[in-house]
Structures are given as structure tokens and as C-alpha cells.
């Protein structure tokens, strides 16, 4: 196992996180045991895993406080939970159908705080503490604007991870044009874009933009 950063490791072409809840799977992933138990992280089911495999350099520290927008059933959130062993992830989801699965995930992982809310209305959870990272994976035409709005919680020098699905923003434009368009929005909002990672071949027409406040 080669350590990439924190509790993220690589073995061959696959990446893993150290399993915080030994013996427990979240979405049918493979568990392997060496010096400790590891969970294989499927890049076709996690844009963050795809970004890491494609060379993302920005690390997520084990003490990080994260606001995760678009948590869904918690596939990626569970791996983030493994990484931020001493931190906390606020997992926001607005679909009551998948929120039940997210709640189940938190039964054994006490560093996940489920948040049933609309990411378009951050004023409804303005009690939230200052965060090191805002992670946004919401396939909406205005997803960048939603992310920027939620960065009221992001501390100065903190990072925004923005998973861009170009087809959700504009199906008539080439993905590369959409990525540049969304980067411009971030820069105009005062962010410094430090990485743009194309997520092919794991996710088609997707990119991960990482910016700093």
C-alpha cells in the first residue's frame, strides 16, 4: 500500500480508505486486510475518487470540517468519513428518499452529521460552523452559484471542491467550454482556481474544480 495522503492509499491501480468501522461495507465495495482493514474506493461511483486517481493534489486533512452538498445515500461521504477521522462532515441532502439511507450510515459513523435541507437556501442552516472545505456535487444548471452561496461557511484560505457535470449546465456546449465558464464565475466571485481535473474515463463530461477562498 502506497499512501497518497491522510488515510487514502493506493495499491496497483486501485485506491482505498482505511475502514473506520471494521467489517462494514457501505455499497458492496471490496474489503481487504493487510496491516489494517481497507475499503476499495470505486471511482465510477465517486467523483472525488475519480479526481484523486486523475492526479488531484489538494489534500483533505484528518481534522477537516466539511460541508458536503448533495450527499445522496452517502457513498462518497462514507469515504470522506474514513479520511477525516478526527473531523466532521455535514452531509446535506434534500431528497427524503435517499436521506433515509444517509441516516442509516450515520448510526455507526459519529463524524457524519446528516442535514436535511435545500442547498439553495443556506440561510436555513446559518447556525453551521466555519468549514475548511465546501464540497458540492449537485447536478443543477446553477450548481456553481449554489456552491458560491454556501461558501459563506468557508473559512478564509479554505477549499471549494466543485464537481461539474457539463451536461446539466448546458448540453449545447462542449464540456471544456463549460468548465472554463464555471471557472470564470468562481474567479469573479473572488476564488483562486488551483486545480481543474477531468474525470474521464470514470465520469463522462465531468470535471472537478478545486478553488481556494
Cβ burial of 74 (10 Å; 0-12, 13-18, 19+) is: buried
Query: What's the pTM value of the predicted model, to 2 decimals?
Result: 0.95
Which pLDDT does position 9 carry in this prediction?
Answer: 95
Torsion of CA 86, 92, 93, 96, to 10 degrees: 80
- Distance separating alpha carbons of residues 126 and 111, to the nearest angstrom: 20
pLDDT at 165 over 80: yes
Query: Where are the strands (E) in the chain, listed by range?
Result: 2-5, 8-11, 14-18, 31-33, 37-41, 65-69, 88-93, 112-116, 131-136, 154-165, 192-198, 206-212
Cα angle value 76/79/54 (rounded, 5°): 70
Query: Which set of grid coordinates corresponds to residue 116?
Result: 436535511
Q: How many residues make up the chain in this entry?
A: 213
Mean pLDDT of 1-26: 92
Whether 190 and 172 have beta carbons less than 8 Å apart is answered as: no
77-126 per-position pLDDT tens digit: 999 999 998 999 999 999 988 898 889 888 889 999 999 999 999 999 99
Cα angle value 125/103/41 (rounded, 5°): 105
- Distance separating alpha carbons of residues 174 and 145, to the nearest angstrom: 20
- Distance separating alpha carbons of residues 163 and 80, to the nearest angstrom: 15
Closest CA to 161 of 49, 48, 82, 30: 48
Closest CA to 6 of 82, 108, 106, 112: 82
pLDDT at 170 over 80: no
CATH number 2.102.10.10 is the correct assignment for the domain at 42-212: no
Contacts for 133 with CB less than 8 Å, ≥ 6 apart: 60, 64, 65, 66, 67, 154, 158, 159, 160, 161
- Distance separating alpha carbons of residues 128 and 144, to the nearest angstrom: 20
Q: Where are the domains of the chain?
A: 42-212
136-154 per-position pLDDT tens digit: 999 888 999 999 999 999 9
3-class DSSP state of 35: coil
172-209 per-position pLDDT tens digit: 788 888 889 999 999 999 999 999 999 999 999 999 99
Amino acid at each position: 500500500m502506497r499512501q497518497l495522503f491522510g488515510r487514502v492509499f493506493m495499491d496497483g491501480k486501485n485506491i482505498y480508505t482505511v475502514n473506520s468501522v471494521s467489517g462494514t461495507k457501505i455499497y458492496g465495495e471490496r474489503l481487504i486486510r493487510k496491516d489494517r482493514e481497507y475499503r476499495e474506493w470505486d471511482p465510477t461511483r465517486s467523483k472525488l475518487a475519480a479526481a484523486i486517481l486523475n492526479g488531484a493534489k489538494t489534500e483533505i486533512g484528518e481534522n477537516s470540517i466539511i460541508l458536503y452538498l448533495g450527499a445522496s445515500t452517502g457513498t462518497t461521504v462514507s469515504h470522506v468519513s474514513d479520511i477525516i477521522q478526527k473531523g466532521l462532515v455535514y452531509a446535506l441532502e434534500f431528497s427524503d428518499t435517499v436521506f433515509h439511507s444517509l441516516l442509516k450510515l450515520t448510526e455507526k459513523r459519529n463524524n457524519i452529521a446528516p442535514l436535511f435541507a435545500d442547498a439553495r437556501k443556506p440561510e436555513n442552516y446559518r447556525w453551521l460552523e466555519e468549514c475548511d472545505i465546501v464540497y458540492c456535487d449537485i447536478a443543477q444548471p446553477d450548481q456553481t452559484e449554489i456552491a458560491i452561496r454556501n461558501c459563506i461557511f468557508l473559512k478564509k484560505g479554505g477549499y471549494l471542491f466543485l464537481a461539474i457535470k457539463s451536461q446539466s449546465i448546458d448540453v449545447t456546449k462542449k464540456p471544456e467550454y463549460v468548465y472554463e465558464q464555471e471557472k470564470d464565475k468562481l474567479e469573479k466571485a473572488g476564488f483562486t482556481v488551483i486545480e481543474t481535473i477531468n474525470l474521464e474515463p470514470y465520469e463522462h463530461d465531468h470535471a472537478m474544480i478545486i478553488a481556494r477562498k
